[in-house]
Structure 1
Amino acid sequence: MQISVVIPLLNEEESLNELHHWISETLDSNGFSYEIIFVDDGSTDGSWEVISTLSRKRNNIKAIRFNRNFGKSQALHAGFKAAEGDVIITMDADLQDNPEEIPELYKMITEQNYDLVSGWKKKRYDSVIAKNLPSKLFNAAARKTSGLKLHDFNCGLKAYKNEVIKTVDVYGEMHRYIPVLAKNAGFSNIGEKVVQHQARKYGETKFGMERFLNGFLDLLTIWFLGSFGKRPMHLFGALGVVMFIVGFGFAAYLGIDKLFLNKAGRLITQRPQFYISLVSMLIGIQLFIAGFIGELILRTKREKQRYHIKETL
């Protein structure tokens, strides 16, 4: 099979028939063999009924239904697990991503040998204050932190080699940073393509302003995991050693000063350097222990199920 189209969704019943028709018409006209995987992330409208009807009509449709809303990252994880295509395309279900971009994305993966191609919504039809400006700030921070020169990390329209999505573990709210996760996993050939952005036709966005705060926090998490996720002792242990040395240095100074330079002076406990020394050494020991515990957790962690599938088709 050439292409798997993975579509996470939440309450998009009005757009699903039109989206399916648009994808099918595009891929059929280009002669692709393909499957469409709808992942219903706990919709409370009629989305699952629409998907069920489509599934009965077409044998190339797979459908996964969560028993509640677990988040886009978990939906993508389930879709990636079910995907069988050589190239996997992800797109949103709100008709803002254009399926006519898929053939060119496919060629960039298969002919130009990209591991991952991320869409870039260069011209957007979203609110400038609510989405455009925060997105630009968010993407600038992501570029600086990750070293990837992508303009739009959060674009839902992306293309991947099969081995990428089977290797990368998407969890939490890390769907924004799949290119960074792929880079950290060793897939360095990551490209970008300008894609057409459509104005939302039905319903309203499912994401509020809090997603940008969460995005920056997730970015810090990605940076930490990418740099020290497999060796936490290198960070916490190093900081702990530095703090302990600082504290020990102050303690040594106080001892030498008391014994040889200022025998008749104040008590050591009356001097501020004593408390700086004490606190620094305690913090150093705690940081070292944190790094040690992190190493133990890495060696004993077990895979946990992050979502519950209610139904599949």
Structure 2
Amino acid sequence: MNATEHTASVAPVQAPPHRLSVVVPMYNEIDNVKPMVDAVQDALKDYPHPWELVVVDDGSRDGTGLALQRHAKTVGPHIRVVRLLRNFRQTAAMQAGIDAARGDVIVTLDGDLQNDPRDIPRLVARLLNDDLDLVAGWRKNRQDGFAMRRLPSMIANRLIRKTTGMQFKDLGCSLKAFRASVLKEVRLYGEMHRFIPAWLSTVTSPDRMAEEPVNHMARQFGESKYGISRTFRVIIDLLSVYFFMNFGSRPGHFFGAVGLGVGGLGTAILGYLAVLKLLGESIGGRPLLSLGFFCVMGGLQFLVTGVLAELLIRIYYDGSHARQYHALHAPVLADSEGWHA
């Protein structure tokens, strides 16, 4: 165990041996610094396995970063502070914490004290005992405002379920437990933190994900960073999620299908006009002629884009040695073992 890992010595949690990393992004939450760190410390003080708390200051301008560093020194070296140079937003801050985490299990939660750290051992135990890759928190009894928080969340969750097919009741809950080896197979960009289960479905099966009811508490300090505009950002992000989930490794199928559809429509229009021309009608001033021409050209462009996209994806997989599949670890055998005589 490293010096910066913390081990408690009391009642064991019913889970296999592991190392736990708790990742918390914070932005302008100076009033929540001490309560949040102390709440995690109190919830895990009797945890029987090594653990660390990785807190990411997302470029706060109210002194959150300095407050975190000062308080971490008074608690212990297992409290690690990552400070970003400016505000990169929640997804980037969460990715920074995931990159810094060294545990076999990673738990994420918000820094506003609305997630209950006492739920962490239960989520981790289910993750490991049920051999899952993700256990997501479900805020069954939410304690925040309806118009500004719950309504946007309900709309966003419904849109995400319809688009991704992921049947989670509360995709917006930050309290989640992950198997680190699987979580680190994906990279989070933009504002994709709310789509983590969807991204994970590109490397593992949805059957290896579950949802667990968790406590939810009203915010006591600071101001919420969410609002109704969040729903519009979700709609835009969903387009990217849908594309990468369905065509991330075969973009030629997407652009090819669109190209064949548009080009086929243009060909049909021009064929119709050709028949009229043969029958002696004038087609030079018809808007259909322009529409058919541009549909054919657009279809060709989509087809060429699909070919180029296929070339790029093959260069990516060959050059970066990225994999198009992910499997459970097979047992390591000697070269002479495991053969049928």
TM-score, with normalisation over the residues of structure 1? 0.90
Cα shift at 1:52: 1.1
Q: Which amino acid aligns with 1:163?
A: S
The offset of 1:115, in angstroms, is 0.6
Report if aligned partners of 1:13, 1:46 keep a CA contact under 8 Å in 2.
yes
Number of the residue aligned with 2:5 = none
8 Å contact from structure 2 (residues 149, 226) kept in 1: no
Q: Using the alignment, how far apart are the partners of 2:254 and 2:47 within structure 1?
A: 51
Supply the distance in 2 between the matched residues of 1:94 and 1:17 (Cα, whole angstroms).
11
CA distance in 1, matches of 2:109, 2:28: 15
1:32-78 deviations in Å (ceiling 9; x for gaps): 32000011100111211222123323111211111100011111111
Match of 1:35 in 2: 52
The alignment yields a C-alpha RMSD, in angstroms, of 1.9
Relative contact order, CA 8 A, sep 6+: which one is greater? 1
1:164·1:187 contact (CA, 8 Å) conserved in 2? no
- Structure 2 counterpart of 1:150, one-letter code: F
Q: Which is worse superposed, 115-124 or 245-254?
A: 245-254
Alignment correspondent of 1:12: 29
**Residue aligning to 2:67:** 50
Identify the residue that residue 126 of structure 2 maps to in structure 1. 108
Q: By how many angstroms is 1:156 displaced?
A: 0.8
Residue in structure 2 matched with residue 289 of structure 1 by the alignment: 304
173-182 vs 228-237, greater mean Cα deviation: 228-237
Partner residue of 2:82? 64
- 195-204 or 122-131: bigger deviation: 122-131
Which 5+ residue runs of structure 1 have no aligned equivalent?
Answer: 304-313
Residues 39-48 or 281-290, more deviating: 281-290
Counterpart amino acid of 1:59? P
Q: Secondary structure at the match of 2:184?
A: helix
Per the TM alignment, residue 142 of structure 1 is displaced from its structure 2 partner at its CA by 0.9
Q: Is the 8 A contact 2:23 2:98 kept in 1?
A: yes
Contact between 2:21 and 2:52, CA under 8 Å: does it hold in 1? yes
CA distance in structure 1 between the partners assigned to 2:64 and 2:139 by the alignment: 26
Q: Measure, in 2, the Cα distance between the counterparts of 1:186 and 1:118.
A: 15
Instruction: State how far apart, in whole Å, the 2-side matches of 1:273 and 1:47 are.
Output: 62
Superposed structure 1 runs of 4+ greater than 3 Å apart: 292-303
**Pairwise CA distance, 1:292:** 3.5
For 1:93 and 1:62, locate their aligned partners in 2 and report how far apart those are by CA, in whole Å.
Answer: 14
Which residue identity is paired with 2:181? E
Aligned to 2:291, which of 268, 271, 276? Answer: 276
Distance 1:36 1:187 in 2: 28
Describe the SS at the equivalent of 1:160.
strand
Deviation at 1:203, TM superposition (A): 0.8
What secondary structure is seen at the aligned counterpart in 1 of 2:201?
Answer: helix
Identity among equivalent pairs (%): 36
- Give 1:242's aligned residue: 261
Q: Which amino acid aligns with 1:278?
A: F
Which residue matches 2:249? 230
CA distance in 1, matches of 2:291, 2:63: 63
283-292 or 78-87, larger mean C-alpha shift: 283-292
Equivalent residue letter for 1:56: K
- Quote the offset at 1:293 in angstroms: 4.0
1:184 aligns to 2:202 (yes or no): yes
Q: Secondary structure at the match of 2:284?
A: helix
Once the 2 structures are TM-superposed, how far is the Cα of residue 275 of structure 1 from its aligned partner?
2.5
Query: Equivalences for 1:74-93 in 2 at 5 Å?
Result: 74-93=92-111
**Secondary structure, aligned partner of 1:268:** coil
SS in 2 for 1:279: helix
Number of residue-to-residue matches in the alignment: 299
Higher normalized helix content (fraction of residues): 1
Q: Where does the alignment leave 5 or more consecutive residues of structure 2 unmatched?
A: 1-17, 321-341
Counterpart position of 1:136: 154
> 2:331: which partner in 1?
none
